[in-house]
Chains A and B, each alone.
Chain A
């Protein structure tokens, strides 16, 4: 039982580049979330989904997009990377409490 799997673990992007952060869960959870964590700032919600085909914005959605075509997958897309998107990104799924993935550490230079 893998839980929530995020890839990649680390990535360096140049300003203006695009990338997709992958998130997959094998627990058949309907609820999934993307958070970013900056040093000393806690976790901020970017996007969330309550089931396949349903997504909604969180607190800090600008510069990001998501899709949820299946229950298992919830990828996060960065279209034009900016230095302000340097952060650690956590995906989580939920059934009676959150299970977090191991995170993706992204640096935009």
Chain B
């Protein structure tokens, strides 16, 4: 059974701080990694994808991938109250690329305190 594990949370940070979200996965063959944000009562939306070891930055978000250690993380700089949501880590499960089946972690709820 391919698994994706996320810290159980919830995570609370003050406004302006860096939020660090972590994820580990069991399948060494996984090639594509994603972070989704889900507001309460809404559907998940893709915020970051990463395919190669190292860092990928997009605005206030940075995804980090270490395939040797089988972890992927998401850093949110200058956290805002609007970042308060559940963040889902997803890893491809069969096939390559963004269209493959995904296995999702249980998610971690982030709360940004004003």
A33 in contact with B101 given A90-B44, A98-B46, A103-B43 (CB within 8 Å): yes
Interface string of A35-78 (1 = CB under 8 A from B): 10000111111001000000000110000000000000000000
Complex formed: what's the CA distance from A94 to B97 in Å? Answer: 10
Interface string of B72-114 (1 = CB under 8 A from A): 0000000000000000101001000111011111110000000
Q: Of all chain A residues, which has the CB nearest B88?
A: A42
Q: Is the CB of B46 within 8 A of A97?
A: yes
Complex formed: what's the CA distance from A45 to B102 in Å? Answer: 8
Q: Is the CB of A100 within 8 A of B98?
A: no
Interface residue tally of chain A, by bracket?
A: 20 to 34
Complex formed: what's the CA distance from A96 to B34 in Å? Answer: 11
Shortest distance between the CB of B34 and any CB in chain A (Å): 7
Q: Is the CB of A96 within 8 A of B98?
A: yes
Q: Is the CB of A43 within 8 A of B98?
A: no
Interface string of A79-109 (1 = CB under 8 A from B): 0000000000010001111101111000000
Q: Is the CB of A43 within 8 A of B49?
A: no
Among B45, B90, B99, max chain A CB count under 10 A is at B99
Shortest distance between the CB of A53 and any CB in chain B (Å): 17
A41 in contact with B106 given A33-B101, A58-B101 (CB within 8 Å): yes
